[in-house]
Every structure is written in C-alpha cells, then in structure tokens.
Homo-oligomer: A and B are copies of this chain.
Amino acid sequence: MTTIKEIARLSGVSRGTVDRVLNNREGVSEETAARVKAIAKQLGYKPNKAGMALAAQKKKYLIGIIVFSRKNPFFDKVIEGFTERAEELAFFGCEVTVKRVAYHPEAQLSAIEACVEEGVQGLIITPYNDSKVCKKLNSLIDNGIPVITVNSDAENVRRIAYVGSDYYNSGSAAGALMQLMTHDKVNIGIILGDRNILCHSQREAGFRERLAEDGRFNIVCCEENYDDDLKSFEIVSNMLNNHPEINGLYFTAAGVYGGCRAIQERAIGRDIRVITHDDVPTTIDMLDKGIITATICQEPEWQGARSLEIMFNYLSSQEPIDIRSYYYAQLNIKIRETK
C-alpha cells in the first residue's frame, strides 16, 4: 500500500510537503508539486481511510436533517437510513442533528432556525412548499450553508441536490400496474394528498397520462384527503357509495389506512384493485388483509443515507466535486407475497 511517507521518500521531500501537494494546499513550488504528483500517480496513491478518519476526529461536520413528524411513519425509515449512515461516518468527524416537525411552514421555519443556532454546516430537508420556507432556505445558502432536499423538492431553492423519487414516473408506474392487474372496463377513483403539493400532483399527472392512452379506463372521481386518515375514510366512503361502478382506487400519498378502512366497511363483496405508495406498517397490514393489491415503494432508507452521504462528501472534500442535481430512488413493487 502506498503511503504519504513512501511518496515523500521517493520524491526526496518531507511528508508535510507531500500532504500540501496532494491536498492542494498552497505554498509549494510548482516543480516540487509536479514531481510529487507524478510519483503519487505512478504509485497509484490512495489515501488510507483509517488514517484519514483518525486524523479527522478533531474536526467535526455538523449536519442537520428536518423531516415531517411521527404522524407520518414513512419518515421513520428515512431517518433510519440516515442514522445508520451517520454512525458509519461518525468516525470521519460527522455529527448529525435530527428534527421532526409538524406539517406546517411555521414549524419548519423554527426547526431551520434551531439548526442554524446549533451551528449546522449543511442542512438536509423535506421542505414544506411555502414561499417563506423557500426564502429562508435560500438565505441559509447565501450564508454558506448548503442545502439538500430529500423526498420532496422545492422549486426556486438553490439546493445542491434533490434525493428522492421521480414522482411523475411513480404515478406512471402505478398506472401501468393498474393496467396489468385489471381487464375490461375499469372505473377509477383517485385519492390525492394535497393538490398544492407538487409531488402529489405529479403522481396524479403520471397516473392519468398513462391511463389516458387506454380506452378501458375511466377516472370517475378524484378527491383530496390532506394526508389525514379520518378525512380519507370519509372521502373513500362517499366515493364507494356514490359510485358503485368503481373497481379501481389509487392513493397518491398518505391517508391510506383511513381509506382502506372505508373499503373494508363499504365495499364488501366488491372486487376492487387498490394501488398505493410506500410500505408503512398500516399499509403492510392492509396488504396482508388483501385490501391493497400492490404498493410501490421508493427506498426511504436509501434516501436518508444517500442524502447524508452527498452532503458529507460535499462538506469534507477539499476541492469542488461534481454533484448531480437529481438522485432518483428505485421503485419497488410489493404485493402481499413479497412484502
């Protein structure tokens, strides 16, 4: 294994100089730098992570993450992936602070403020789509605190990257699945989360567009449940009562449990294909009970882990690294038998 010491010996300079050259610090003559670089390259020098880690323990990078509260258990998994990766990065000097707040702009604003006061050097957030929040995020960015959006993106925020799923695609996949799992005429009800939330409407668009090409499908109604289970129960109950022809339901977002309870009670004996997203415990339960036909998952643990990884690399790399703007999660379809 090639070490700095080795390179120093071969190029006839000290370890300090080699360090300066390899980490692009200043104060080295061009010729020395060139010689050292050449030798390092020739030997295929790779810095030893253990050594780096050990030396990096004095530094610390504090990274904050803000996602929505426990009322939405999807984020449990995001945080799980995040925390796991945080433990791995801990010995490179990575520290984290996790905030879970209500689905409300004010709550987010104060969480952001709290992160800043704790001194975070980078912020990962599932942003509430609100102009005050966006403005606040941009002001952080102006003050040198980079931002990564996770699971949900924000327009006009100059974040370095978005990590999450491609919502249009996932809606489209839901449509494709509905096609594969039905035959003849299908009458569909859509249960939206919130039309004002970009990702919910993107899923709806993907789903609709996919089915628009197919004459078998007729979308008979579309309602918002605002991610609330009680509201969802009510909406779906009404849908099923008012539209006895419905034999397909698509939930673009949360509130799945409430909706499924309505199906259990109001659709006895009816054969309805139900497609949802994610696999929170209540969804798994309804999959088990045969109420949900299939659910499309989006690697929540990966989203948490990957966003932290990107942020940490960004903060700890000396030279600018290239970062993509979008990191999309894989979509995994689950049915009762593969949950």
Q: In whole angstroms, what is the CA distance A333 to B293 when docked?
A: 13
Contacting residue for A50 out of B50, B172, B173, B183, CB 8 A: B50
Interface residues in A, total, Cβ within 8 A:
30
The answer to the question of A338 belonging to the interface, with a C-beta cut-off of 8 Å to chain B, is yes
Residues of B contacting A332 in the complex (Cβ-Cβ under 8 angstroms) = 332-334, 338
Contacting residue for A51 out of B54, B180, B337, CB 8 A: B54
Contacting residue for A338 out of B50, B331, B338, CB 8 A: B331
Beta-carbon contacts under 8 Å, A39-82 to B: 48-51, 53-54, 57
Q: Are B180 and A294 in contact (CB under 8 A)?
A: yes
The answer to the question of A161 belonging to the interface, with a C-beta cut-off of 8 Å to chain B, is no
Shortest C-beta distance, A171 to chain B (Å), equals: 10
Residues of B contacting A336 in the complex (Cβ-Cβ under 8 angstroms) = 176
Q: In whole angstroms, what is the CA distance A173 to B92 when docked?
A: 42
Knowing A49-B91, A50-B91, the reply to whether A293 touches B180 (Cβ < 8 A) is yes
Knowing A53-B50, A180-B181, the reply to whether A337 touches B169 (Cβ < 8 A) is yes
Q: In whole angstroms, what is the CA distance A335 to B334 when docked?
A: 11
Contacting residue for A176 out of B91, B169, B337, CB 8 A: B337
The answer to the question of A296 belonging to the interface, with a C-beta cut-off of 8 Å to chain B, is yes
Residues of B contacting A180 in the complex (Cβ-Cβ under 8 angstroms) = 180-181, 293-294, 335
Q: How many copies does the complex hold?
A: 2
Q: In whole angstroms, what is the CA distance A90 to B92 when docked?
A: 16
CB-defined interface of A310-339 with B at 8 Å, one 1/0 digit per residue? 000000000000000000001111111110
Q: In whole angstroms, what is the CA distance A335 to B169 when docked?
A: 12
Q: In whole angstroms, what is the CA distance A183 to B49 when docked?
A: 57
The answer to the question of A280 belonging to the interface, with a C-beta cut-off of 8 Å to chain B, is no
Shortest C-beta distance, A289 to chain B (Å), equals: 15
Q: Are A338 and B293 in contact (CB under 8 A)?
A: no
Q: In whole angstroms, what is the CA distance A296 to B337 when docked?
A: 11
Residues of B contacting A183 in the complex (Cβ-Cβ under 8 angstroms) = 183
The answer to the question of A177 belonging to the interface, with a C-beta cut-off of 8 Å to chain B, is yes
17 further contact pairs, Cβ within 8 A, besides A173-B338, A332-B338: A48-B54, A48-B57, A48-B91, A49-B91, A50-B54, A169-B337, A173-B335, A176-B335, A176-B337, A177-B337, A180-B180, A180-B293, A180-B335, A183-B183, A296-B338, A333-B333, A333-B335
Question: Can you report 25 residue pairs joining A to B where beta carbons are below 8 Å apart?
Answer: A48-B57, A48-B91, A50-B57, A50-B92, A51-B54, A53-B53, A54-B54, A169-B337, A172-B337, A173-B337, A176-B335, A176-B336, A177-B337, A180-B180, A180-B181, A180-B293, A180-B294, A181-B181, A296-B338, A330-B338, A331-B338, A332-B333, A332-B334, A333-B335, A333-B338
